[in-house]
């Protein structure tokens, strides 16, 4: 990741991964986001009923929104995958809700081994549903 702030976000995502509750999939994920100038973290939380599972990215975004934050500026997500994996479609859609310009919002995936990959939200969710389509 470029820039000191982004490196800090990646470090916080790696630390957040330790809080993941993933007894079923064993896919531990941590996320750190910068939203409305604040930093928020989250971990994935699984449930025996898989559809009740919550991803780390959405956990962090929902925590930020609960404090009044509304503008998503950057995302870092950490898993053990090699190469690091991108966020799921549901997380991409939630990110889109709080990103005024998807062509300017960076998502970086890292793993504890030091690998990193980055995308713009617009690359991961082209032509995403924005709500502008609603009456």
The strand pairing partners of 116, in sequence order, are 110
Cα Rg, the chain, nearest whole Å: 14
Across 107-135, b (16+ Cβ under 10 Å) vs e yields bbbbbeeeebebbebbebbeebeeeeeee
Is 57 a catalytic site residue?
yes
- Choice among 46, 57, 123, 133 that is catalytic: 57
In the 8-state DSSP scheme, what is residue 66? H
Q: What are φ and ψ of residue 75, in 5° steps?
A: -135, 135
Rounded-to-integer distance, Cα 34 and Cα 103, Å = 16
User: Would you name the residues annotated as active-site residues?
Assistant: 57
């Amino acid at each position: 990741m470029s820039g000191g702030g982004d490196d800090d976000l990646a470090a916080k995502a790696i630390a957040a991964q330790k809080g993941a509750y993933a007894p079923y999939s064993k896919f531990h994920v941590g996320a750190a986001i910068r939203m409305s100038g604040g930093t928020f973290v989250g971990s994935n939380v699984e449930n025996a009923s898989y559809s009740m599972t919550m991803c780390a990215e959405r956990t962090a975004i929902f925590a930020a929104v609960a404090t009044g934050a509304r503008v998503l500026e950057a995302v870092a997500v950490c898993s053990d995958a090699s190469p690091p994996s991108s966020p799921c479609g549901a997380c991409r859609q939630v990110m889109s809700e709080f990103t005024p310009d998807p062509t300017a919002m960076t998502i970086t995936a890292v793993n504890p081994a030091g690998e990193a990959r980055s995308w713009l939200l617009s690359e991961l969710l082209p032509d995403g549903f924005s709500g502008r389509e609603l009456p």
